[in-house]
């Protein structure tokens, strides 16, 4: 089976892209593939913000992230992209802080890299 690295480049307001990533991740694992990690880059780092105030009748990205964490997929946040956007990556322990070097190493060891933009 194949191994994948996924990257998410869009902000939390782009619900369709996040849902597509979730469907891909669940389907890949259900079909016996390995997800090495998910990398949050560019505006994707906004997903690592804590303290979203979401109304009960609105889409909550945290629910999707929780389902992905339950699959034991490491989720990395690009420290440089986060810093440029004022996102403190120290607030949320479920997300791993890393840089492009770590991302490049993960991609080099995977069979495929799939971007969600």
Cα torsion 34, 94, 70, 23 to 10°: value is -60
Could you give the CA distance from residue 88 to residue 62 in angstroms, rounded to a whole number? Answer: 17
- Cβ atoms within 10 A of the Cβ of 53, count? 5
- Token reading at 72: 């034991």
pLDDT tens digits for 64-82? 999 999 999 999 999 999 9
Catalytic site positions: 78
**Domains of the chain with CATH codes:** 3-116 (3.40.1260.10)
Is the model's pTM score more than 0.85? yes
pLDDT tens digits for 4-59? 999 999 998 899 999 999 999 999 999 999 999 999 999 999 998 876 667 777 78
Residues 6+ apart with CB under 8 A from 34: 1, 2, 3, 4
pLDDT score recorded for residue 30 = 97
Length of the chain equals: 117
């Amino acid at each position: 089976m194949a191994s994948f690295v996924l990257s998410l480049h869009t902000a939390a307001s782009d619900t369709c892209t996040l849902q597509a990533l979730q469907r891909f991740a669940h389907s890949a694992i259900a079909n016996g593939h390995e997800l090495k990690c998910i990398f949050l880059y560019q505006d994707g780092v906004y997903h690592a913000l804590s303290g979203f105030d979401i109304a009960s009748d609105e889409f909550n990205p945290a629910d999707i992230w929780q389902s992905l964490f339950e699959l034991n997929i490491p989720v990395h946040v690009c420290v440089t992209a986060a810093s440029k956007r004022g996102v403190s990556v120290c607030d949320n322990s479920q997300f791993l802080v890393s840089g492009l070097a770590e991302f490049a190493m993960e991609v080099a060891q995977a069979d495929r890299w799939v971007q969600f933009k």
